[in-house]
Amino acid sequence: MKKYLHGATPTESGFADGVAVPALGLVWAEASAIDGATGRRVPEAGTIAEETRVCLVRLGETLAEAGYALSDVVKVNCYLAADEDRAEFWTAFDEVLAPGPYPVRITQVGGVAGDARVLLDAVAAR
């Protein structure tokens, strides 16, 4: 059986922020710094580093709903709106998850919706 997770950012659309499949010990979750009510980036996400931290906090909150933590993340697809933000993103991402171990990560540029500059799509496992 699967459980839909809504984390800290429920939207009017009803899309889930994640899905847990307890029988498999897996959670799929995503996070952005977009306010679900306004569709705009939250004020505390002024820089790429701040936006990355907001995304990771929200990802952690969604995972916690299923009883998981950021330390359970095994794979993250990271999407950036602009390539020039890559170094700042990597630094902030690594600082939040320090001291590791770090999950498998791919960082891609392009196609981030709306006002977001950072989007995370993760898989957590036990």
Alpha-carbon distances of 102 from 44, 67, 72, 88, rounded to whole Å? 25, 19, 10, 17
Q: How far apart are CA 59 and CA 31, in angstroms?
A: 5
Q: How far apart are CA 94 and CA 78, in angstroms?
A: 13
Q: Is the pTM of this model over 0.85?
A: yes
Q: pLDDT band for position 2 (50/70/90)?
A: confident
Per-residue pLDDT of 48-68, as tens digits, reads: 999 999 999 999 999 999 999
Per-residue pLDDT of 63-79, as tens digits, reads: 999 999 999 999 999 99
Q: Tell me the domains of the chain and their CATH numbers.
A: 3-125 (3.30.1330.40)
Mean pLDDT over 96-124 rounds to 93
Residue 10 has pLDDT above 60, yes or no: no
